Amino acid sequence: MRTVDQNKDVSPSSQATIQAQFVTITEEEAGQRIDNYLLRVCKGVPKSHIYRILRSGEVRVNKGRIDQLYRLVEGDLVRIPPIRIAEKASQGATPGAEFPVVFEDTHLLVIDKPAGVAVHGGSGVSYGVIEQLRAARPQAKFLELVHRLDRETSGLLLIAKKRSALTNLHDQMRDGVTDKRYLAAVYGDWVNKRQHVKLPLHKFTTPDGERRVVVQAGGQEAHTVFNLKRKWKDFALLEAELKTGRTHQIRVHLASSGFPILGDEKYGDFALNKQLQKANNERGALKRMFLHAYQITFTHPDTGQPLTLRAPLPAECDRFLVSLGQPLI
C-alpha cells in the first residue's frame, strides 16, 4: 500500500510545487534505482535538479542518506523534498494519446506503433509513446518500455505494466528466448532465399548529436537472418530475424550488404528515396521507411505460456507493394 504524508510548502503564484512527501515503495516499484524513480515521479523537474537533491541528502530512505545508485526495496520509506517547478515547464505538459492495442492484460500492453513517432522523449524530441501513454493513463502505477523501435519504424512495441513483467521480459531478451521478426522492402537484385549477415556494429554520435552506426571491426557482434518473401525486378520484400538486438542493426546490415531499405533517410539511397516520394508509371509513391516489426514470440511473464503476436503491414506499405504488380517470386 502506498502512503503519502504531505507537508504544505507555500510558493509564489508564479510557480507550481511538488510538496514534500513520504512514499512507501510498493512491490512493483522495488528494484529500480532511486534516481530513475525520482525522474519518473517528479515529472517536469530538470534532471540536474534531481541529482542535486540526491547529492545534498534532501532525499532520504528510511530516514538515512543514500546515493543515486541505491536500489529501492519494497517497504522503503522515501522522503521526497519540496521541489518547485517553473510554471513554464508545467504548461508544456505531454498530450495523452492511445495507440492501436494488439494485446493487453494486467501485466503487459502491446501496441502497433505508427511510423514517425518516437518511443520516448530525448534527442530533440519532447515526448514519445511512453510519455503519451502515461499521460493518457494517469491511473496506471507502472508503464515502462520493454524494448525500443526506431522513430521511423512501425510495428509491435512491448510495454510492461508491472516491474516483474519488465524484469522477466528483459531476461528473455538477454537469453535469446524472444523471436522478433520485421518486414523490410529493399532496392536491388536479392538472390538468396535465406541469408545470414554477421557484421560487427560500432555506435557513435555525430558532432551535431545524431546517433549513427557503422560496420567496423571490433564493434559489437551482430547477427541478422534474412528470408526472401517476394521479389520484383528492382525490389524485394524481406523478413528479418533478429539474432542480436543492436541499434539500427537491420538498417545497417542491409545497407552495408548493398540492399538499402526503401525510404531510409540515414543509411539508404537518398536519390532513390527522393524518387520514391512520387508515383510513376511502374509503381506508387512511398513516403516513409519500409521497415515494420510485424511479429514477436515470447513467453508470457506471468502465465509462462508461449505467445505470438502480429501486426499487419501498414496500409501505405501494402499499397506500395500492390503497385509493383505481380512479384517474380
Q: Which of 136, 104, 125, 151 is nearest to 251 (CA)?
A: 151
Q: Given this model, what pLDDT does residue 156 score? A: 98
Q: C-alpha grid cell for residue 99?
A: 495507440
Q: What's the pTM? A: 0.77
pLDDT of amino acid 28: 72
Closest CA to 184 of 260, 249, 261: 261
pLDDT recorded at residue 213: 96
Q: Using alpha carbons only, what angle is made at residue 70 by residues 64 and 75, rounded to the nearest 5 degrees?
A: 65
| Cβ atoms 213, 199 nearer than 8 A | no
State residue 141's pLDDT score: 85
Q: Give the per-residue pLDDT at 16.
A: 45
pLDDT (tens digit, 0 to 9) for every residue of the chain, 329 residues total?
444 444 443 333 334 444 678 888 877 778 888 988 888 888 778 888 888 999 999 999 999 999 888 999 988 999 999 876 544 444 457 899 999 999 999 999 999 999 999 998 876 678 899 999 999 999 998 999 999 999 999 999 999 999 899 999 999 999 999 999 999 999 999 999 999 999 999 999 888 778 899 999 999 999 999 999 999 999 999 999 999 999 999 999 999 999 999 999 999 999 999 999 999 999 999 999 999 999 999 999 999 999 999 999 999 999 999 999 999 98
Q: Which residues contact 35 (CB under 8 A, 6 or more apart)?
A: 50, 51, 54, 68, 69
The set of cell numbers assigned to 15 is 510557480
Q: Which residues pair with 113 in a beta bridge?
A: 155
**If you ran DSSP here, which 8-state letter would residue 274 be given?**
H
pLDDT of residue 89: 42
Among 277, 261, 273, 279, smallest CA distance to 323 is for 279
Q: Which three cell numbers stand for residue 78?
A: 522515501
The structural domains of the chain, ordered by start, are: 15-91 (3.10.290.10), 101-160 (3.30.70.580), 177-323 (3.30.2350.10)
What is the CA 112 to chain-centroid distance, rounded? Answer: 12
pLDDT at 9: 39
Distance CA 312, CA 292 (A): 9
Provide the 10 A C-beta neighbour count for residue 279: 12
Q: Return the number of other C-beta atoms located less than 10 Å from residue 165's C-beta.
A: 24
- Rounded CA separation 32/72 (Å): 6
Residues paired with 295 in a beta bridge: 181, 310
The whole-angstrom separation of Cα 99 and Cα 131 is 12
Tell me the pLDDT tens digit for each residue of 254-289. 999 999 999 999 999 999 999 999 999 999 999 999
| pLDDT of the residue at 126 | 82
Residues carrying an active site annotation: 150
Q: Identify the bridge partners of residue 64 per DSSP, sorted by sequence position.
A: 61
